[in-house]
A and B are shown apart, each in its own frame.
Chain A
Amino acid sequence: MTTVVAILAEAWSEIRVHKLRVILSLVGVFLAVFGMTSIAAAGDIGRQLVAESSERSGGRPATVMVQAYPLFSGPDNEVISTAMREVVERYDIRWSSLVLDEEIIANFPGQSERVAVRSVDPAFGIMHRLLIEQGRWFTPADVQRYAPALVVSPSFLERLGGFDPNRPPTVRLGGDSPVLATVIGVLGADDFGSPFAYLVNDSDSGWTAGSNPYGQPPMLEMWVPPEQVDQVMAAVTGDLLLTLPGHDVFAQRADAGDQLAQLDLVLNYGVRGVGYFALLLGGVGVLNVGMVVVRQRIREIGVRRSFGATSGRVFLTILLESVCATAVAGALAIGCAIALVLNLPYEQILSVPIEDLPPFPLKAAVEGFLAATAVGALAGLIPAIVAVRAKVIDAIRY
């Protein structure tokens, strides 16, 4: 224990004494580790951005979309909805939503307009990471409302004149038997000028009275663990085929799935590969300086041998000088990368909201630190061998 402390103390003392040359030799290692870790962190953030954007449209991994089409007649939405809800209950699927796209007449002040509406369950907001700019998303209590609640797009709100959570705006929906709907929330996403609204699915949905111009029956979306996705798809499809005779049932994944795996591949191997290469170049710099310096220190090494330093001790000290120095450079680089990554105003820079900012990639930080230390060991190896092979007597007289 004492010997280890003594070796470390000696190595650290050498670094302290030769700090200028140490700092200069470590610039490459610092920059490489800084680049490696901050690019890895930036990559994670980029991946999260892509993932969140993808999840807003297709759902989180793994989202399964199930559709049932009648083969010989028009769709009976109630029959299909009931069958789908039964299957969700049967398999105790926690996150699910029936989704039905319709059109409805919205009576805005001064004009009536046909707007697209989507009826969903409250879980849909979580499943699709929907961003709510003002107000709130649906809760299960909204299903029991006597008048429909709406979460609308910005252009829908624009037609109503603005949002006040204390006095939520209302809009009259429907033609022949209209109903007064309350806007409870506003979406953050841009709708490119076409008004759009979400309605919450209601067991008694008669009042929605929307027309279904696409002839689409309701579909079922389920957010399930990715490792169970194939099992769930097979089971749900089989059950619906039995409970909905005369229907064609098919299920598929709605989320990005393996497409993100390719991005992960690029981030994992491409970015890391470049980082390791840069680190190797930094290591060559450390080796060069180490070789020059060890030749200048031959006399000092001889003097230390006269103190009783063994060959092993000289070897370890020179090696540890390099290892300690690159480890410190690596740790500093990681610290700087953390400070940079955690303090960048991403939403301002990217102009895209990011809901779950990924934590600093600890794996990249640990990898960067270990790689820097390993490069230090490799770069210190040759100078350490040169130091050990120096003849003591010549070294003292040098």
Chain B
Amino acid sequence: MTFIRLAGVGRTVALPDGNQLEILTDINLEIERGEHIAVVGRSGSGKSTLLNIIGLLDSPTTGVYELDGQPTDVFSARARARLRGATFGFVFQQFNLLPRRSATENVAAPLLYASGRQVWGRRAAAREMLERVGLGQRMDYLPERLSGGEQQRVAIARSMVRNPTVLLADEPTGALDVDTGSTVMDMLQHVVTEFGTTLVTITHDLSVAARADRQFRLDHGVLSGLSAADLPSVTAQRSGS
């Protein structure tokens, strides 16, 4: 069943000179529950804007965005925020860990916006999630003391701690070297598969995109499918992972 549906979605922003800049044009995209899709594109092609719209951080200026069959434009800002917290997990290129908080505090932070038992049990849940991503020995470390790969694993644990339906990863390996990036992607795929989470990865790295079930290219705001021929040995990537 389609969980995310974008139909004719466009996004324009007003420039200081009064003109309109079209960032996304007529985006049509359907994503199933548990599916892994990747969107590749150059810098400035609108990848992050698309991710922000899917994650309810931004709204389309045209078209329809339906989440689990519900049009999202009817939600209030408060409802969007709550839905965002409950439905989506975010992994950022620059990790965006909260400075001067331990790995446990970082992972527990999203649970402060949950309700009831999740709030009270946030530290235990954070520790369990850190164990899952292999950081059981780094729970009390501050981000400054962790390597880039470890920081991204903390960010993945944090994005998964509320057990979201969809994980949105914006250039998850962009700040990592090739080997570390590959390890992080392995771990990310392992976690989302374990939880049955839908994964949307934004990347400019074709080898990262090759890990997804479906791939798309975003070029100057226009989304198109990516053929297997465009990808570097997808089969090899999958079997290797």
Residues of A bordering B, CB below 8 Å: 2-3, 5-6, 9-10, 13, 17-18, 299-300, 302-313, 392-393, 396-397
Q: A299-B96, A307-B110, A392-B57 are in contact. Are A6 and B119 (CB under 8 A)?
A: yes
Q: Closest CB of chain A to B41's CB: distance in Å?
A: 16
Q: A3-B115, A17-B100, A300-B99 are in contact. Are A307 and B57 (CB under 8 A)?
A: no
- For chain B residues 33-85, which have a beta carbon within 8 Å of chain A? 48, 52, 55, 57-58, 77-78, 81-85
A306 contacts B84, C-beta separation under 8 Å? yes
A308 contacts B101, C-beta separation under 8 Å? no
A residues less than 8 Å from B52 (CB atoms): 393
- For chain B residues 91-120, which have a beta carbon within 8 Å of chain A? 92, 96, 98-101, 105, 109-110, 112-116, 119-120
Q: A6-B113, A17-B101, A393-B52 are in contact. Are A310 and B58 (CB under 8 A)?
A: no
Q: Specify which of B52, B55, B96, B115 lies most central, judged by the most chain A CB atoms within 10 Å of its CB.
A: B96
A13 contacts B82, C-beta separation under 8 Å? no
A residues less than 8 Å from B99 (CB atoms): 17, 300
Contacts A306-B84, A307-B110 known; 20 new A-B pairs at CB < 8 A: A2-B115, A2-B120, A13-B101, A17-B100, A304-B113, A306-B55, A306-B88, A308-B81, A308-B85, A308-B86, A308-B110, A309-B81, A309-B113, A312-B78, A313-B81, A313-B113, A392-B57, A393-B48, A393-B52, A396-B57
A residues less than 8 Å from B98 (CB atoms): 300, 303
At the interface, is chain B mostly helix, strand, loop or mixed? helix
30 A-B pairs, CB-CB below 8 angstroms?
A2-B120, A13-B101, A17-B99, A17-B100, A18-B100, A300-B98, A302-B96, A303-B96, A304-B109, A305-B57, A305-B81, A306-B55, A306-B57, A306-B84, A306-B88, A307-B85, A307-B110, A308-B82, A308-B86, A308-B113, A310-B77, A310-B81, A311-B77, A311-B81, A312-B78, A313-B81, A313-B113, A392-B58, A393-B48, A393-B57
Contact with A along B125-141 (1 / 0, CB 8 A): 00000000000000000
A2 contacts B119, C-beta separation under 8 Å? yes
Q: Closest CB of chain A to B123's CB: distance in Å?
A: 11
Q: Count the B residues whose beta carbon is within 8 Å of the partner chain — how many?
A: 31
A residues less than 8 Å from B86 (CB atoms): 308
B residues less than 8 Å from A13 (CB atoms): 101, 105
At the interface, is chain A mostly helix, strand, loop or mixed? helix
Residue of B at shortest CB range from A3?
A: B115
A residues less than 8 Å from B105 (CB atoms): 13
B84 contacts A308, C-beta separation under 8 Å? yes
Q: Closest CB of chain B to A360's CB: distance in Å?
A: 38
Q: Complex Cα distance A396/B93, Å?
A: 10
Q: Complex Cα distance A2/B112, Å?
A: 9
Residues of B bordering A, CB below 8 Å: 48, 52, 55, 57-58, 77-78, 81-86, 88, 90, 92, 96, 98-101, 105, 109-110, 112-116, 119-120
Q: Closest CB of chain B to A382's CB: distance in Å?
A: 21
A residues less than 8 Å from B112 (CB atoms): 6, 9-10, 307
A residues less than 8 Å from B77 (CB atoms): 310-311
Q: Closest CB of chain B to A320's CB: distance in Å?
A: 13
Q: A13-B101, A311-B77 are in contact. Are A2 and B92 (CB under 8 A)?
A: no
B residues less than 8 Å from A17 (CB atoms): 99-101
Q: Complex Cα distance A187/B230, Å?
A: 108
Q: Complex Cα distance A303/B85, Å?
A: 11
Q: Complex Cα distance A311/B55, Å?
A: 16
A residues less than 8 Å from B83 (CB atoms): 308
Q: Which of B90, B100, B115 contacts A306 (CB 8 A)?
A: B90
Q: Complex Cα distance A311/B116, Å?
A: 20
A residues less than 8 Å from B120 (CB atoms): 2
B85 contacts A309, C-beta separation under 8 Å? yes
Q: Closest CB of chain B to A83's CB: distance in Å?
A: 79
Q: Complex Cα distance A303/B89, Å?
A: 11
A residues less than 8 Å from B78 (CB atoms): 310-312
Q: Complex Cα distance A46/B95, Å?
A: 61
Residue of A at shortest CB range from B79?
A: A310
Residue of B at shortest CB range from A312?
A: B78
A5 contacts B96, C-beta separation under 8 Å? no
Q: Closest CB of chain A to B20's CB: distance in Å?
A: 17
Q: Complex Cα distance A397/B90, Å?
A: 13
A residues less than 8 Å from B81 (CB atoms): 305, 308-311, 313
Residue of B at shortest CB range from A302?
A: B96
Q: Specify which of A9, A308, A309, A392 lies most central, judged by the most chain B CB atoms within 10 Å of its CB.
A: A308
Q: Specify which of A9, A13, A300, A307 lies most central, judged by the most chain B CB atoms within 10 Å of its CB.
A: A307
A residues less than 8 Å from B92 (CB atoms): 303, 396
Residue of A at shortest CB range from B96?
A: A303
Q: Closest CB of chain B to A240's CB: distance in Å?
A: 77
Q: Complex Cα distance A299/B114, Å?
A: 21
Q: Which 9 A-B pairs have the closest CB atoms?
A: A308-B85, A307-B110, A310-B81, A308-B113, A306-B90, A6-B112, A17-B100, A303-B96, A310-B78
A2 contacts B57, C-beta separation under 8 Å? no
Q: Closest CB of chain B to A209's CB: distance in Å?
A: 87
